[in-house]
Amino acid sequence: MIIESLSAGRVRLALRLYFLIAIALSTWLAEGFLLIRAKLQLIRTHTAPIHNVLGWTQGYGLLKIPLSLGRLPAGKLGYMAMLVVFLLSQLSDLITTTLVKQTPIHSRCAFGTGLVVNTTGPELFVAPPVNGIPYIVAHNSQYFSLNNTCDIGIYAKVNTETNFCPTAEDILGTWNCSRGAETTYPAGTSIDSIIKSLQSQKLLSSNVSHEFSSASNSSYDHLVMWSSSAKSDTAGTPWSVLAAVQANSGPFDDITILPLSCSLAAPPVQNVVNAMASLKALSLWKLTFQGLMFYGTGTPLVADPEQQLAILLNTMIMVQGGSNALLSTPAPDADQDQGCVVMATEVPRAVEVLVMITAVLLVTLLMLWLIFASVLSMQHKEGRKMAENLPKDVLGWVAMAATEHQLSINPQYSGQIKQRALRTWILGTEEGAAQRLRIMARVAKVDSSNGLLEFQETATAK
């Protein structure tokens, strides 16, 4: 389950509260059910095995008591209820804390303002400007998309949001670039000779723009070349790109040239592309092309030159179609959102199952409690009164032991020691050789020598 409206911390808090309350109620209901069951057994048979009336047990007691008694406390059904509730109380917190976490998901976010591509024209420029912030925004948007595991392309609109992750409705198309087989030339081969060689192999068109970095009068590196298939800037027809980049790492090595070819697959912006002066555009953007092909001064060719070239060409189309403006807004009848990645809370299936098990357990225990409580209410009054003295917990058993002690002293005693009265009772040894521990009441007596209160047992065992 994915929850977008709440943070992982709030979901964990809500789940922990749910488990805390549900398990507390389940414990109370199960304890009440086991007590009622024991009372019914006492009413019907006047006896009940001790292990069936020990009350609620949890934690280490679930292991210790069966080993000590050789019997399951509360019988098989009761023991299973106590074990399940105890395991749920431990697992629910552990699983909720560990597995409920934040995860990025694809969503739609409000766009606001940015660069909006106009696919119908007319355009403000014959070629996209190379020196504006729109270039940076359009270019970076594709890296943001890649970082968010989405696609590069020519986007309908872009802004500076780093969580940008376009979906199909955001992408107008893309340039597709591929690499060819490398060609090696002897060191010192002139650039003109290389261009002519590549043209003769139809790896470059006739209108070539190139850029390089000089190492000396007779050597160079970081050579890039690209060309448009258009015959002129006013052709007004679709065009593709043939390019080539220097792939050898040193300016004095043999010259290795990697050819690249790019074609456009973006019907919505075909008018923008046709109207662009592609020869001028490639000439204007050749330095940017060179910069994207290498890791910096004196560095080798990037690992993915074909993708970097596609990103650059996509950027050029967006800048051209968006009129180099970053403060545009979509038309009122156009999509006002863009694809994005947002953080949401993931609740794994294990937690969902645990929630359902807890709910089922709670409802089951409630039904059992209601059924057994109804049966108990139909028993005769004397039996119910007798069963009321059945200990519910440790204090109940201590109160029963105190009552038994009183009976051992005074067989005529007919009362019942209340739990609140246990604060005046002590545990101590009886006089004699046995030194046996017993529970005893103590009474206050004024010491005549110092006027202070002192306590003593009500009776001394013989």
Q: pLDDT tens-digit profile of 319-362?
A: 999 999 999 999 999 999 999 999 999 999 999 999 999 999 99
What local confidence, expressed as pLDDT, does residue 462 receive? 32
Of 227, 263, 265, the C-alpha closest to 245 is 227
Tell me the residue type at 425.
W
pLDDT given at position 71: 79
pLDDT band at 454 (very low <50, low <70, confident <90, very high): very low
> Which residues, in sequence order, are CB contacts of 122 under 8 Å at separation 6+?
275
69-73, 91-95, 158-162, 189-193: the lowest-pLDDT one:
69-73
Instruction: Say what the pLDDT of residue 198 is.
Output: 97
Reading the block at residue 233, the tokens are 């800037």
* Among candidate residues 462, 460, 394, the one with its CA nearest the CA of residue 422: 394
Give the pLDDT mean for 244-261: 91
Instruction: For residue range 88-126, list pLDDT tens digits in order.
Output: 888 888 889 889 999 999 999 999 999 999 998 788 899
Q: Which two tokens stand for residue 60?
A: 């280490």
pLDDT over 70 percentage in the chain: 94
Please tell me the predicted confidence (pLDDT) of residue 286: 97
pLDDT at residue 67 in the model: 82
Tokens of 161: 């949001």
The more confident residue out of 400 and 297 is 297
pLDDT, position 455: 47
Length of the chain: 462
**pLDDT tops 90 at residue 397:** no
pLDDT at 410: 77
Mean predicted confidence (pLDDT) in 356-377:
91
Tell me the average pLDDT of the chain: 87
Please state the rounded mean pLDDT for residues 392-416.
Answer: 77
Note the pLDDT of residue 429. Answer: 72
Mean pLDDT of 150-175: 97
- State pLDDT tens for residues 180-199: 999 999 998 999 999 999 99
What amino acid is encoded at 97 in this protein?
Answer: T
Between 90 and 309, whose confidence is greater?
A: 309
Percent of the chain with pLDDT over 90: 55
Q: Which residue has the higher pLDDT, 251 or 11?
A: 11
* Residue 247's pLDDT band (cuts 50, 70, 90): very high
Rg (CA), the chain: 43
Model confidence at 37: pLDDT above 90: no
Q: Is pLDDT at 53 greater than 50 in this prediction?
A: yes
Instruction: Please give the average per-residue pLDDT across 234-240, as a whole number.
Output: 93
Distances (CA, A) of 51 to 69, 72, 239, 404: 8, 7, 90, 19
CB-count exposure of residue 451 (10 Å: 0-12, 13-18, 19+):
exposed
Give the mean pLDDT of 444-459: 49
Neighbours of 407 (CB within 10 A): 13
Which of 342, 339, 338 is CA-nearest to residue 111? 338
Q: If pLDDT is split at 50, 70 and 90, which confidence band does 249 have? A: confident
Structure tokens at 119: 């696919």
- Check the CA dihedral 390-395-398-404 and report its sign: negative
Q: What is the dihedral of CA 437, 438, 442, 446, to 10 degrees?
A: -40
pLDDT digits (tens, 9 = 90+) for 274-305: 999 999 999 999 999 999 999 998 899 999 99
The answer to whether residue 460 scores a pLDDT higher than 50 is no
Confidence (pLDDT) at 431: 60
User: Collapsing DSSP states into helix, strand and coil, what is residue 344?
Assistant: strand
Is the pLDDT at 270 greater than 90? The verdict is yes
Q: Given a cut of 90, is residue 438 above it in pLDDT? A: no
Residue 461: predicted pLDDT: 37
